[in-house]
A and B are shown apart, each in its own frame.
Chain A
């Protein structure tokens, strides 16, 4: 029996793996010490658990445990990386490079430092959401201190070529930060091989708890220094003060450990399911378009535009499936997704998009249900869509003069 609604929004957040929950529980109820307490076994137990989790987190990105700074999540990690570099390297330069399809947790800190006098270049992307390495290289100046480019896009799943980007940054002597929130635990990420100096990750995107994440901060070649945003007891090498949330850290560590061991098999399974979903829908519906890169994309992400139907209306028709729409009608603004618009997608197709986020707990049975339900709902809406009617009559919608409102 299928449990409804089917959860297919794993790019938003994931269910905490039961093995993670199990690992966390003792640190609420028995081993509840402060990891900074040096005088008793409660503190020692907590510290040992934090050390072990730090190893587990470091291991999934091939870093050393000393390079892991625990934060409240990837948003904080991104803020710390960007603002911390802006402040610490002010004398070296004030130019930053990023792209327009980044998550708001990168764009908004960049806008903030821009207001404080820094210069930021936002690179454009092509129709698949890829930056041009040539443009990146050309954008780097003597003033550039940081390039920040996400590993995997949260909406369209496109993967940036981290290794090539890292190489360029290294050659030009600028720091490379990547928001790897969607990528860590899903695809191999190696800070050494990819030349990454700073990396943000989050627990709840990889079947760990919400409220915990980490920033990787390279310690040598080069040694990256950051101005802290949170001052206090000097935790986390002085970069992030505050008592460590030991149960969350243990959970993040366990999530990383599981992901590291199971990633290879899991990504194969997800690819298979995603292809089944994509093929199942497109074999029954015409005028369905894939958003994001067809090849270089997160294994669990499928973002589709259904021409002639509106995303929010479609989501209402598939209420047994929990997904996200690129049409932000849902969030009080009527703007379609800025990421989809960045691909050069017409507003009408941006308004017509649905993001399917498959994950560890997605089953083939669920995929088959989703195919049927989406096809039914799209047909229902196309039957009452004036745009579909015009399309069927051979009218090119781009030539129609619409009455603006």
Chain B
């Protein structure tokens, strides 16, 4: 399968690989997927308590090149966004940006899910889990 140059770039030079302390109250952690499905994504966001914006993000992914690229791109996109803005990121935008073929669309879905899971985790920690959060 031929990968797009953008997928190759993210694969070879993944942005924001790493981990935050998951017990830090300002950190939200989302882990989605399962090893037996061939992909697991961990996406973490760090919130600036003053602005409420996502000031940093990190990921680790087990999966194919498209899964790695999708999560790498997701960390780039959420940075600087408010939680509501980040919740608005759609998998279709990831598909478009990375030119993912149909068989790899699930990678983008997983990345969208990872963002949502990280935000949900942060809000649960805050004790202010809102209805607005999509499950």
A interface residues with partner B (beta carbon < 8 Å): 308-310, 312-313, 316-317, 327, 329-330, 332, 334, 336, 346-348, 351, 383-389, 397, 402-405
Contact = CB atoms under 8 A, between A and B. Distances in A.
Given A383-B17, A405-B32, A329 B62 contact: no
B65 A316 contact: yes
20 contacts: A312-B64, A313-B65, A313-B68, A316-B11, A330-B1, A332-B103, A336-B38, A346-B36, A347-B36, A348-B36, A351-B35, A351-B36, A384-B14, A384-B59, A384-B61, A385-B61, A385-B62, A386-B61, A404-B34, A405-B109
B41 interface: yes
Given A316-B3, A384-B17, A405-B37, A310 B32 contact: no
* Residue among A351, A386, A387 having the largest count of chain B Cβ atoms under 10 Å: A386
Interface of B: 1, 3, 8, 11, 14, 17, 19, 31-42, 59-65, 67-68, 103, 106, 109-110, 113, 117
A321 to B, nearest CB: 15
A328 to B, nearest CB: 9
Most buried by A among B17, B33, B62, B64: B62
A246 B126 CA distance: 77
Given A312-B64, A389-B42, 6 more contacts: A332-B103, A351-B36, A384-B14, A402-B36, A405-B106, A405-B110
Contacts of B110: 405
Nearest to B103: A332
Contact of B62 (A330, A347, A386, A403): A386
A212 to B, nearest CB: 29
B65 A386 contact: no
A387 B34 CA distance: 10
Main DSSP-derived SS at the B contact region: mixed
A402 B35 contact: yes
A322 to B, nearest CB: 14
Nearest to B59: A384
Contact of A313 (B33, B37, B64): B64
A317 B11 contact: yes
A327 B60 contact: no
A403 B68 contact: no
Given A346-B36, A347-B35, A405-B113, A329 B68 contact: no
Contact of B68 (A330, A384, A388, A389): A384
B31 A386 contact: yes
Nearest to B109: A405
- Per CB-CB distance, the 9 closest pairs between chain A and chain B, nearest first, are A347-B36, A348-B35, A402-B34, A386-B42, A312-B64, A386-B60, A316-B65, A351-B38, A384-B17
B36 A385 contact: no
A387 B40 contact: yes
A312 to B, nearest CB: 4
A403 B38 contact: no
Contact of B40 (A346, A383, A386): A386
